[in-house]
Structure 1
Amino acid sequence: MEARLAFPQDSPPLAILSAAKIAGVPLTIDPTLASGSPPTLHLASGDFVHGVNTILRYIARAAAASSVPSFYGQDALQAAHICFVRPLILSGSGFEAACLFLDGYLVSRTFLVGYALSIADIVVWSNLTGTGQRWESLRKSKKYQNLVRWFNSVSVDYADVLDEVTAAYVGKRGIGKSPAPSLKDKEPGLKENASGQEIDLPGAKVGEVCVRFAPEPSGYLHIERYKGRLIVRFDDTNPSKESNEFVENVLKDIETLGVKYDVVTYTSDYFPKLMEMAESLIKQGKAYVDDTPKLQMRNERMDGVESKCRNSTVEENLSSWNEMVSGTKRGTECCVRGKLDMQDPNKSLRDPVYYRCNPDPHHRVGSKYKVYPTYDFACPFVDALEGVTHALRSSEYHDRNAQYYRILQDMGLRRVEIYEFSRLNMVYTVLSKRKLLWFVQNKKVEDWTDARFPTVQGIVRRGLKIEALIQFILEQGASKNLNLMEWDKLWTINKKIVDPVCGRHTAVLKEQRVLLTLTNGPEEPLVRILPRHKKYEGAGKKATTFTDKIWLEYADASVISVGEEVTMMDWGNAIIREIKTDNGTTTQLVGELHLDGSVKMTKLKLTWLPDIEDLVSLSLVEFDYLINKKKGRQ
């Protein structure tokens, strides 16, 4: 039983509603309290929690114990810093005073408390959003850049949840919305992407469409629009390749992508009915059991040669089928094949395999079964039973479409429309899960989350924002043409999203650095506050130390000439008076500041670091491609 949140209809508690959504706390909404009454949370146990702050504390602690560990702070000190009293005065001059305070507070912070989202961020975000146009006007100005940067960052990371709450209770859909198009906002008949391509599902009726996303749980997930239903179905028909790890991580990836589905199902749920259908087809003479060796069967299909078992009697086939079900030695040598057309030019119709024996235990049902359906047999059957109206699938399966329809026909099931789209291939990238598994098993990568992998977790770990991925996919559209895409376009979209909120840091290579002594530099270190990003004030500010000794990159120092005037970024010009070398290698420079010099006249614009003890050592990792061929077999 869900908890019931009661509150006045004229004052919905946005902070509570947003926090509950993010924390995954299911609520039944009851906006029936008298105006001015504080909200009350009625728990399934019969207890209740009264008041905004108390309810928020309850949600934060519940989330910290399960779904969002940082919600109540990651240690006792952070928990003490989280204040549940509304931090903003939402009327009069106090509002802008609070904004000014928060803007200064967020100069060097990404979150209000600690290094991850907490309930404090949700309270402040909700209070700002709840002011409606007042905050929107300030947000568009450049008055509180740090506060806007923080607000936009929270909005982007939790766009789906926060948009849903604001749409329902603020009446301003899209406040704080991600720069990427929201799939849920699209309507039938509107253009699907920037290229102007439209998606028209054949025979589709608004509100009656049902599609399915059907991953096989044999790897991590890697790289729709009518008002209908979306089924996530795990086609777990091959126990040798599948595991609960892959199921859990596919669901995690779907959540990361922001895909909203109606239900999760498994093909293994239909194993009993699939076996009944296979046996029914055998009895009708539409399928038979074949013990032809695998390689010979493959050659016979290629050559259009009928199997010696094709004309076995129903009784013989049922006897062999029972051997398969029992997993006997004889049964393991057999498979069930559909009796379609061995002479058809489309080889997928040449008596495809419907069932195989497999002694390996299944990750969900254990060793209950010794026979498992093939994907080609199970997919149309389950599509029809689950009410799928349109099977969306990659055009690489085009030759098997006729097989899909023929199997449905032989089963006596309703027709499911197939809608094709092209597979999106990326340069220097392997997308085959079988081949990616080889990299994992042979320790060529750390695991499935390796930053060089095209898995969702891999590219997110590398720094890709999901909003960029969605925008990239929408711009490609549901084309039927084969695409080989460069990664550059995806990272360009990503840069536009992260640029306004990403600070800038300066570094030099520790093992390849040269000291520049400025004879007229500051006698004592001088600290100035400078913007982290020259184009986006919202990225915050940084403290930069100016000293009479600074470090330069060797690559820069080695090309400087005596008497040359150079520009030091964020400082000004200097003239190099002396260059010290050792066996032709530049080891030290001596120069003097010339801050009146024109930065437009210098050829070299140098990054630098002060020679102080506070410098931080770090390692930068640049990820290359896993393969060196731009286009390979997938």
Structure 2
Amino acid sequence: MEDSRLAFALDSPPLAIIAAAKIAGVSLTIDPSLAPGSVPTLHLSSGDFIHGINAILCYLARVATVPSFYGQDAIQAAHYAPVILSGSEFEAACSFLDGFLASRTFLVGYSISIADIVVWSNIAGTGQRWESLRRSKKYQNLIRWFNSIAVDYAGTLDEVAAAYVGKREIGKSPAPRLQEKLQDLMMNTSGPEIDLPGAKVGEVCVRFAPEPSGYLHLGHAKAGLLNKYFAERYKGRLIVRFDDTNPSKESNEFVENILEDIDTMGIKYDTVTYTSHYFPKLMEMAESLIKKGKAYVDDTPKQQMKDERAAGTESKCRNNNVEENLSLWREMVNGTENGMRCYVRGKLDMQDPNKTLRDPVYYRCNTDPHHRVGSKYKVYPTYDFACPFVDALEGVTHALRSSEYHDRNKQYHRILQDMGLRRVEIYEFSRLNMVYTLLSKRKLLWFVQNKKVDDWTDPRFPTIQGILRRGLKIEALIQFILEQGASKNLNLMEWDKLWTINKKIIDPVCARHTAVLKEQRVLLTLTNGPEEPFIRILPRHKKYEGAGNKATTFTSRIWLEYADASVLITGQEVTLMDWGNTIIKEIKTENGIITQLVGELHLEGSVKLTKLKLTWMPYIEDLVSLSLVGFDYLITKKKLEKDDDFVKFINPCTRLRNFSSWRPKHEEPQTGRDHTA
């Protein structure tokens, strides 16, 4: 995009516009020449101009390359009006935003939008007033959001904010460095965006085409979100297509759950289609290629065919005449005994060094009923045959595929060429690989079928539903995926990064609970403890008020973890969390095992001087017994190689159960679908 000129008054540079343009990828020439109090004006290279903050922000949101920067509908767009934070309104606005962000990562949707940029800029522009509130930690949700935006766009927003706030220190004197600094910021608009080859705004059509043979996992999430990103960036169309060409593996259950996961990820699509809808046309195309001599029917046994392809040896059936091929094709269509042994193969090049071009299989027989069309067909197209055909028919302009399909790209285009269909551009992105993780649906299905996990939503599974049950927020998953971008670099990702992002999101709203292991606990008797139990109301989270409060009972007898008790010595002063210090007076043992402790409260003692800060539970009847469940990786090898048998690396113990512990009844867990996660 050619440079546009932003004219404004030097005494009030429009921080929100400058920051939004920077992130939107719009290059601006800064012109602070207007008279004081003037309204900013954006002069476009076309000669047109846009007058006023709201209008300019609306324009920037519309032309931005950032996905979902403008929002999905008119209601979200209404959030984009600048928030004026001044005078007595400032604290009221902060209070409102703090409550609004209690359960949200962004102001609109699941990713950063111009609403975040505008509000962030207004807050940062107040300078010292905001910094004072920030240090006071009064609005924890707002501070968490403000800091996360600053971290993600530190190279942009912090610099722009510094330039804006810096003018206040200059007063009414000229500020040439401000103009230079803003100009430098706006000229450097390069970001992580990657262009689709030959893409034109308004003409792009992409498709997300999962096979309904399992639930969506992390790898599918990356593919789906990248398709969503490019569709939004180029203001194009996104098709969700079910590649349902293998009735032996597919079911309506998988279709329904895939659609549920797509909705969970916030992926908005234009239509849902099925490859099975095109079965009649696909069969016509196969027969047409046979008649043109570009395909043939082969009854070579499967393993022999595989060996011949590897060796570059032509099949004995390769030179059958058209009549022989059509006769065998009809037997395949009718599902005869002879037809069931046959395959339709493309007649490409058996000597090509790219083995995917060595006469690939286009059609094979299968008598299993299809979940959508029943037993109507006995033959089904392969993915390699159906995918380019349906892409071309549905108007797909760019097919996004992970780099594992790289060798098949030439095959894809050769098949389109033989079919006489238009070219579809392929864009590759790197496959998402996670340590100690399987992302093959075939292998994941093995775990389900062999009862190694409960089902596809098991918290140990890398499926979207599985990791959400384990405690991941969908916002964290989306942020993690989008940070990977459309890069072609292959990376083996650590789970820690994903959970770190998740922690930032849940930390301000996640309550803290206390528990001790039932079978590994030691009673501590406080000789000067309270004669009668009493209750104090304490915050669930010491840093975030939004987590609420809890009622804690204080008694003269309390439980400690055995692990903590084992490191204590007589005469030692320790701190009991949320209470104060106590001095260990006696340690009772039996056969070398600690059975009981005796202590004396020393509440006037300094908690800063003690080395041990101990968690504890009151010795009362009003406790809840529960089971804690811990999960480990399903496999023991960090990265499986291509020829590894994954069964040999199965982790024998992936779910740790029955750690009995105690919790007061008023502290029952506030979790969602899965209390054990």
Establish whether TM, by shorter chain, passes 0.5: yes
Cα 1:458–1:140 change in 2 (3 A) is: farther
**Alignment correspondent of 1:395:** 403
Shift of 1:195: 11
Deviation larger for 306-315 or 488-497? 306-315
**Alignment correspondent of 2:618:** 610
Once residues 489 and 154 of structure 1 are traced to their aligned partners in structure 2, the CA distance between those partners, rounded to angstroms, is 21
Tell me the alpha carbon deviations over residues 501-527 of structure 1, each in whole angstroms, 9 at most, x when there is no partner: 001111111111111111111122121
Once residues 385 and 284 of structure 2 are traced to their aligned partners in structure 1, the CA distance between those partners, rounded to angstroms, is 13
Once residues 458 and 492 of structure 1 are traced to their aligned partners in structure 2, the CA distance between those partners, rounded to angstroms, is 18
**Alignment correspondent of 1:70:** none
**Alignment correspondent of 2:546:** 538
Once residues 467 and 494 of structure 1 are traced to their aligned partners in structure 2, the CA distance between those partners, rounded to angstroms, is 8
Are 2:295 and 1:287 aligned? yes
Shift of 1:544: 1.4
Shift of 1:537: 1.8
**Alignment correspondent of 1:219:** 214
Tell me the alpha carbon deviations over residues 475-501 of structure 1, each in whole angstroms, 9 at most, x when there is no partner: 112121211111001000000000000
The answer as to whether partners of 2:345 and 2:361 remain within 8 angstroms in 1 is: yes
The answer as to whether partners of 2:577 and 2:614 remain within 8 angstroms in 1 is: yes
The answer as to whether partners of 1:195 and 1:477 remain within 8 angstroms in 2 is: no
**Alignment correspondent of 1:514:** 522
Once residues 350 and 538 of structure 1 are traced to their aligned partners in structure 2, the CA distance between those partners, rounded to angstroms, is 63
Shift of 1:471: 0.8
SS of the residue corresponding to residue 338 of structure 2 reads: helix
Cα 1:163–1:203 change in 2 (3 A) is: closer
Q: How does 1:427-446 map to 2 (within 5 A)?
A: 427-446=435-454
**Alignment correspondent of 1:415:** 423
**Alignment correspondent of 1:406:** 414
Cα 1:334–1:350 change in 2 (3 A) is: same
Cα 1:347–1:240 change in 2 (3 A) is: same
**Alignment correspondent of 1:202:** 197
Q: How does 1:372-387 map to 2 (within 5 A)?
A: 372-387=380-395
Shift of 1:152: 2.7
The answer as to whether partners of 1:422 and 1:478 remain within 8 angstroms in 2 is: yes
SS of the residue corresponding to residue 345 of structure 2 reads: strand
The answer as to whether partners of 2:105 and 2:505 remain within 8 angstroms in 1 is: no
Q: How does 1:76-475 map to 2 (within 5 A)?
A: 137-138=90-91, 141=94, 148=98, 151-156=100-105, 160=109, 196-223=191-218, 224-225=229-230, 226-475=234-483
Cα 1:161–1:460 change in 2 (3 A) is: closer
SS of the residue corresponding to residue 449 of structure 1 reads: coil
Deviation larger for 307-316 or 402-411? 307-316
TM-score, length of structure 2 as denominator length: 0.68
The answer as to whether partners of 1:230 and 1:261 remain within 8 angstroms in 2 is: yes
Once residues 608 and 194 of structure 2 are traced to their aligned partners in structure 1, the CA distance between those partners, rounded to angstroms, is 52
Once residues 515 and 139 of structure 1 are traced to their aligned partners in structure 2, the CA distance between those partners, rounded to angstroms, is 49
What amino acid is the match of 1:344? D
Tell me the alpha carbon deviations over residues 277-300 of structure 1, each in whole angstroms, 9 at most, x when there is no partner: 001111111111111111111111
The answer as to whether partners of 1:148 and 1:538 remain within 8 angstroms in 2 is: no
Once residues 635 and 527 of structure 2 are traced to their aligned partners in structure 1, the CA distance between those partners, rounded to angstroms, is 51
What amino acid is the match of 1:199? I
Once residues 333 and 89 of structure 2 are traced to their aligned partners in structure 1, the CA distance between those partners, rounded to angstroms, is 66
**Alignment correspondent of 1:599:** 607
Shift of 1:158: 10
SS of the residue corresponding to residue 508 of structure 2 reads: helix
Once residues 104 and 430 of structure 2 are traced to their aligned partners in structure 1, the CA distance between those partners, rounded to angstroms, is 32
The answer as to whether partners of 2:110 and 2:478 remain within 8 angstroms in 1 is: no
Once residues 548 and 457 of structure 2 are traced to their aligned partners in structure 1, the CA distance between those partners, rounded to angstroms, is 31
Cα 1:162–1:257 change in 2 (3 A) is: closer
Shift of 1:237: 0.4
TM-score, length of structure 1 as denominator length: 0.73
The answer as to whether partners of 1:202 and 1:417 remain within 8 angstroms in 2 is: yes
Superposed CA RMSD? 3.3
Tell me the alpha carbon deviations over residues 524-549 of structure 1, each in whole angstroms, 9 at most, x when there is no partner: 21211211111212211111121111
Once residues 325 and 359 of structure 2 are traced to their aligned partners in structure 1, the CA distance between those partners, rounded to angstroms, is 15
Cα 1:488–1:526 change in 2 (3 A) is: same
Shift of 1:137: 4.7
Once residues 485 and 467 of structure 1 are traced to their aligned partners in structure 2, the CA distance between those partners, rounded to angstroms, is 18
SS of the residue corresponding to residue 618 of structure 1 reads: strand
Structure 1 spans left out of the alignment, 5+ residues: 1-124, 182-190
Once residues 565 and 458 of structure 2 are traced to their aligned partners in structure 1, the CA distance between those partners, rounded to angstroms, is 36
Cα 1:568–1:470 change in 2 (3 A) is: same
Once residues 341 and 629 of structure 2 are traced to their aligned partners in structure 1, the CA distance between those partners, rounded to angstroms, is 51
Tell me the alpha carbon deviations over residues 219-270 of structure 1, each in whole angstroms, 9 at most, x when there is no partner: 0001132211111100000001111111111111111111111111000000
Shift of 1:612: 1.6
The answer as to whether partners of 1:220 and 1:246 remain within 8 angstroms in 2 is: yes
Q: How does 1:535-574 map to 2 (within 5 A)?
A: 535-574=543-582
What amino acid is the match of 2:101? N
Once residues 107 and 369 of structure 2 are traced to their aligned partners in structure 1, the CA distance between those partners, rounded to angstroms, is 39
The answer as to whether partners of 1:195 and 1:475 remain within 8 angstroms in 2 is: no
Deviation larger for 338-347 or 131-140? 131-140
- Aligned residue-pair number: 494
Cα 1:163–1:396 change in 2 (3 A) is: closer
Once residues 89 and 400 of structure 2 are traced to their aligned partners in structure 1, the CA distance between those partners, rounded to angstroms, is 40
Shift of 1:132: 7.1
Once residues 279 and 405 of structure 1 are traced to their aligned partners in structure 2, the CA distance between those partners, rounded to angstroms, is 19
Once residues 467 and 138 of structure 1 are traced to their aligned partners in structure 2, the CA distance between those partners, rounded to angstroms, is 28
What amino acid is the match of 1:472? F
Shift of 1:581: 1.1
SS of the residue corresponding to residue 284 of structure 2 reads: helix
Once residues 565 and 93 of structure 2 are traced to their aligned partners in structure 1, the CA distance between those partners, rounded to angstroms, is 43
Cα 1:161–1:489 change in 2 (3 A) is: closer
SS of the residue corresponding to residue 417 of structure 2 reads: helix
Are 2:484 and 1:476 aligned? yes
Once residues 251 and 107 of structure 2 are traced to their aligned partners in structure 1, the CA distance between those partners, rounded to angstroms, is 30
The answer as to whether partners of 1:139 and 1:148 remain within 8 angstroms in 2 is: no
Cα 1:274–1:572 change in 2 (3 A) is: same
**Alignment correspondent of 2:636:** 628
What amino acid is the match of 1:358? N
Once residues 596 and 325 of structure 1 are traced to their aligned partners in structure 2, the CA distance between those partners, rounded to angstroms, is 89
SS of the residue corresponding to residue 202 of structure 1 reads: coil
Once residues 130 and 547 of structure 1 are traced to their aligned partners in structure 2, the CA distance between those partners, rounded to angstroms, is 55
The answer as to whether partners of 1:195 and 1:476 remain within 8 angstroms in 2 is: no
Structure 2 spans left out of the alignment, 5+ residues: 1-75, 123-140, 153-185, 219-228, 643-677
Shift of 1:387: 0.5
Once residues 304 and 131 of structure 1 are traced to their aligned partners in structure 2, the CA distance between those partners, rounded to angstroms, is 66
What amino acid is the match of 1:534? K
